[in-house]
């Protein structure tokens, strides 16, 4: 058994390389970075002290209403609207994304038109439209298209303000969710699709077992960001006098005139909900990346 000993190239053969190798490490004091840190700390401390000591913030009123039953009920209503809008919106958005990628021109055109319309109209306008749909169509009927109507009812009886708000939020969210899901599916390598077809895997199983699990790593970050935006976008339902968090805060400070502390109550709860969603996003991304990271480590170990 013989051992082959290898020697690294000597720097003596190249004077320039030797000169570079013997340069001492210079430890420079990064004054700019320390100055920026000092400025940030001073500003943060100044803002904190001013907020605590300024009596106009009225912290006793803030504490009195932060966990009051009225605020907690409105908070639960906001969470419900956000959850319904996110779940139904992304389900519908996923179907629209599949229609856009199906290759059928009619379905792709319908999906494109849907996304274009509902991304063009502001959410508050959509909620107003559905809330006052009875002004355009006094009755809604069920029957044969372009033919007789068998059953009809007044629109105001079928479409309550809550239902109108849910429809507006879901359709608005579906338009944005469709593009997020479509981007995730397009991010999967074409070789995965070719391999699935070569193995004879049915399209449904290919979508559920191969494409979507890989696309989720791309979908989750923008989808979570969109849900956080939807959480604050639910404030638009105040236009229909629905008792969400923002509307209820407005009602309370309309009675007692304590505008600043009541707005701070809303800000505090939105910050809490956003933090919870951000933590959930972090752990979901970490879980989805486990297999991906393991495959990268295995490849590196095999290459070594």
Supply the DSSP string of 216-255, one letter for each residue: HHHHHHHHHHHHHHHHHHGGGGGGGT---HHHHHHHHHHH
Give the predicted TM-score (pTM) of the model: 0.79
pLDDT for 302 beyond 80: no
Higher pLDDT, 30 or 43: 43
Higher pLDDT, 27 or 65: 65
Which of 13-27, 124-138, 231-245, 271-285 is predicted with the least confidence, judged by mean pLDDT? 13-27
Can you give the pLDDT at residue 240? 92
Residue 283: alpha-carbon gap to chain centroid: 15
Per-residue pLDDT of 240-255, as tens digits, reads 999 999 999 999 999 9
- Residue 271 to residue 117: CA distance in whole angstroms: 31
- Tell me the two tokens of residue 42: 């001073």
pLDDT for 96 beyond 90: yes
Which of 18-22, 181-185, 186-190, 211-215 is predicted with the least confidence, judged by mean pLDDT? 18-22
- Pick from 260, 229, 228, 232: nearest CA to 246: 232
Can you give the pLDDT at residue 292? 61
Mean pLDDT (whole number) for 252-280: 94
Can you give the pLDDT at residue 15? 62
Q: What is the DSSP string of 11-24?
A: GGG-HHHHHHHTPP
Which of 49-63, 65-79, 147-161, 169-183 is predicted with the least confidence, judged by mean pLDDT? 147-161
- Residue 255 to residue 257: CA distance in whole angstroms: 6
- Residue 102 to residue 139: CA distance in whole angstroms: 36
Sequence-ordered alpha helix ranges (H) in 14-143: 15-21, 31-53, 59-66, 69-101, 105-120, 123-131
- Residue 102 to residue 185: CA distance in whole angstroms: 12
Residue 166: alpha-carbon gap to chain centroid: 18
Mean pLDDT (whole number) for 210-220: 85
For domain 68-287, the question of CATH label 2.30.30.30 is answered with no
Give 143's strand partners.
149
Q: What DSSP designation does 8 have?
A: P
Higher pLDDT, 231 or 214: 231
Most confident of 16-30, 47-61, 204-218, 246-260: 246-260
- Tell me the two tokens of residue 3: 């051992």
* Neighbour tally for 128: CB within 10 Å: 16
Residues whose CB is less than 8 angstroms from the CB of residue 101 and which lie 6 or more positions away in sequence, other chains included: 108, 182, 185, 186
Can you give the pLDDT at residue 102? 87
Can you give the pLDDT at residue 144? 81
Give 153's strand partners.
140
Q: Please, are residues 111 and 97 in contact by the beta-carbon 8 Å criterion?
A: yes
Higher pLDDT, 292 or 273: 273
Residues whose CB is less than 8 angstroms from the CB of residue 185 and which lie 6 or more positions away in sequence, other chains included: 97, 101, 211, 212, 215
Q: Please, are residues 215 and 187 in contact by the beta-carbon 8 Å criterion?
A: yes
pLDDT for 171 beyond 90: yes
């Amino acid at each position: 058994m013989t051992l082959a000993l290898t020697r690294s190239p000597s720097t003596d053969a190249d004077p320039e390389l030797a000169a570079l190798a013997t340069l001492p490490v210079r430890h420079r004091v990064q004054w700019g970075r320390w100055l920026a840190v000092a400025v940030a700390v001073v500003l943060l401390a100044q803002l904190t002290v001013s907020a605590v000591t300024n009596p106009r913030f009225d912290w006793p009123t803030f504490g009195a209403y932060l966990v009051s039953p009225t605020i907690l009920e409105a908070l639960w209503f906001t969470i419900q609207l956000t959850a319904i809008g996110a779940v139904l919106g992304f389900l519908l958005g996923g179907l629209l994304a599949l229609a856009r990628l199906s290759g059928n021109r009619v379905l792709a055109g319908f999906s494109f038109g849907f996304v274009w319309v509902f991304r063009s109209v502001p959410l508050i306008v959509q909620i107003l439209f559905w809330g006052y749909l009875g002004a355009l169509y006094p009755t809604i009927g069920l029957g044969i298209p372009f033919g007789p109507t068998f059953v009809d009812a007044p629109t105001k009886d079928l479409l309550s303000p809550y239902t109108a708000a849910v429809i507006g939020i879901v359709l608005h969210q579906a338009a944005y969710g469709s593009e997020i899901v479509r981007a995730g599916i397009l991010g999967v390598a074409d070789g995965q699709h070719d391999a699935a077809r070569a193995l004879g895997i049915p399209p449904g199983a290919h979508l559920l077992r191969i494409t979507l699990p890989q696309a989720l790593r791309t979908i989750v970050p923008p989808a979570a960001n969109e849900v956080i935006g939807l959480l604050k976008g639910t404030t638009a339902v105040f236009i229909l006098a629905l008792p969400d968090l923002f509307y209820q805060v407005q009602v309370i400070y309309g009675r007692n005139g304590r505008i600043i502390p009541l707005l701070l109550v809303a800000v505090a709860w939105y910050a809490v909900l956003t933090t919870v969603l951000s933590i959930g996003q972090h752990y979901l991304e970490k879980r989805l990346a486990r297999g991906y990271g393991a495959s990268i480590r295995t490849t590196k170990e095999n290459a070594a």
